[in-house]
Amino acid sequence: MSTGGGAYQVGRGLAAGSRPVGFAVVTVGYVAAGLAAWAVAAAVRGPHPLLVTFYADLVATVVVFAVSVAVANASVYDPYWSVAPPVIVAAWVLGAPGDVTGRQAAVLALVVAWAVRLTANWASSWRGLSHEDWRYVRLREQRPGRLPWWLINLTGVQVMPTLVVFGGLLAVWPAVAVAGRPWGPLDVAAVVVTGAAVVIEATADRQLRRFTRDPAHRGRIIDRGLWRYSRHPNYLGEITFWWGMWLFGVAAAPDWWWTVLGPVVMVLLFVFVSVPMMDQRSLARRPAYAEHMRRVPALLPWPAGRGR
């Protein structure tokens, strides 16, 4: 594969299409990915259901990757982060024996609410196949000369996030598939934490969207609402969501405490990758952002005196 080949030029031609064309391509690609995942789940017998799900998840990711190569746009993968989890969790709930429990219903409802909000936020900002996330553009431009872009796209842009999200979902498996422990205080805490996370993300995104759409704020740094206390409240909400899912898993099966690796990896991803990349970009565009970084913490709000 080479970005200089004929397939890449065809992809660039498609990328010039309209926004509806872009969403149509993504929809068809994700339907194909879902069918491929279903075929894997139906064909593989014997391993633990988690392994079957893992294989199906990887195959679906490869299908999405193939579509992204065909249209020369790695951002085709972006909604996978939020589209795959509710499908996986719904499949686990439907495959569990017995009637749907309160815990299963709560987990599924919260995952769907999180997924709908996050997917809608992506859809509202994506301008079509001509629009590729700036982080992918930077990765392509700064990659080592002999390392092909398709390999970086496959491993770093698509497979790595799939693995991270699957790690987060490990705690959801016992929450929806392990029966025997009744609803308890830890479940209530999980509902509060996860629900608050969705509200934080939704509020942060709404405040940012409103701020950036106001011409009077052009070139300014958002420092109001949740953004007054955290430079990345949307990331804080995302991290909190996965900790809430882990609480559900521990409430259902304490022996699965080790799935804490999932939310821990989420923390590491945002703290050491996402936050630095966003801060670096903001610094390059707005020198005043350095002072903003000194006043406002990256994720967790500092004492009230820190804000303005």
Query: Is the pLDDT score of 298 beyond 70?
Result: yes
- Structure confidence by residue, pLDDT tens digits, 169-194: 999 999 999 887 899 999 999 999 99
Report d(CA 132, CA 73) in Å as an integer: 6
What pLDDT digit, counting tens, does each position of 71-126 carry?
Answer: 999 999 999 999 999 999 999 999 988 889 999 999 999 999 999 999 999 999 89
Q: Give the single-character DSSP code of 78.
A: T
What 3-state class would DSSP assign to 270? helix
Average pLDDT over residues 249-267: 96
- Kindly tell me if the per-residue pLDDT of 133 is higher than 90: yes
Kindly report, residue by residue over 264-290, the tens digit of the pLDDT.
999 999 999 999 999 999 999 998 999
Residue in 248, 237, 278 with CA at minimum distance from that of residue 117: 237
**Which distant-in-sequence residues (6+ apart) come within 8 Å of 58 by Cβ?**
159, 162
Question: Does the pLDDT at position 293 exceed 90?
Answer: yes
The answer to whether 297 and 231 have CB atoms below 8 angstroms apart is: yes
Q: What mean pLDDT, rounded, does the chain reach?
A: 91
3-class DSSP state of 288: coil
Looking at the predicted structure, is the pLDDT value of residue 300 above 80?
A: yes
**pLDDT at position 303, please?**
64
Q: 206 pLDDT band (50/70/90 cuts)?
A: very high
Q: Which amino acid is at 65?
A: F
What is the reported pLDDT for 123? 93
* Confidence at 5, pLDDT banded by 50, 70, 90: very low
Give the model's confidence band at 10: pLDDT under 50 very low, under 70 low, under 90 confident, else very high: very low
Which candidate, 147, 168, 166, places its Cα nearest to that of 158?
A: 166
d(CA 256, CA 211): 42
The set of residues, in sequence order, having a beta carbon less than 8 Å from that of 147 and lying 6+ positions away, is none
- What mean pLDDT is predicted for residues 200-206? 96
What is d(CA 29, CA 15) in angstroms, rounded to the nearest whole number? 15
CATH class of 99-125+178-308: mainly alpha
Whether 308 shows a pLDDT value over 70: the answer reads: no
Determine the Cα–Cα distance for residues 166 and 128; give it in Å rounded to an integer. 27
Instruction: Quote the distance between the C-alpha of residue 245 and its chain's center.
Output: 14
CB hemisphere CA count around 268 (13 angstroms): 11
Report the pLDDT averaged over residues 35-45: 95
**Cα 85 vs. chain centroid, distance in angstroms?**
9
Given 3-state DSSP classes, what are the helix, strand and coil percentages for the chain, each rounded to the nearest 5? 75, 0, 25
DSSP E strands, the chain? none
**CB-side neighbour CA atoms (13 Å) of 202:** 12
CB atoms within 10 A of CB 231: 23
How high is the pLDDT of residue 99? 87
Encoded amino acid at 262, one letter: G
| CB of 283 closer than 8 Å to CB of 290 | yes
- pLDDT on residue 302: 77
Helix (H) or strand (E) holding 182: none
Give pLDDT, residue 251.
Answer: 96
Alpha-carbon span 282 to 276, nearest angstrom: 10
Write out the residue limits of the CATH 1.20.120 domain(s) in the chain. Answer: 99-125+178-308
Which pLDDT value is given to residue 9?
45
Supply the pLDDT for residue 32. Answer: 98
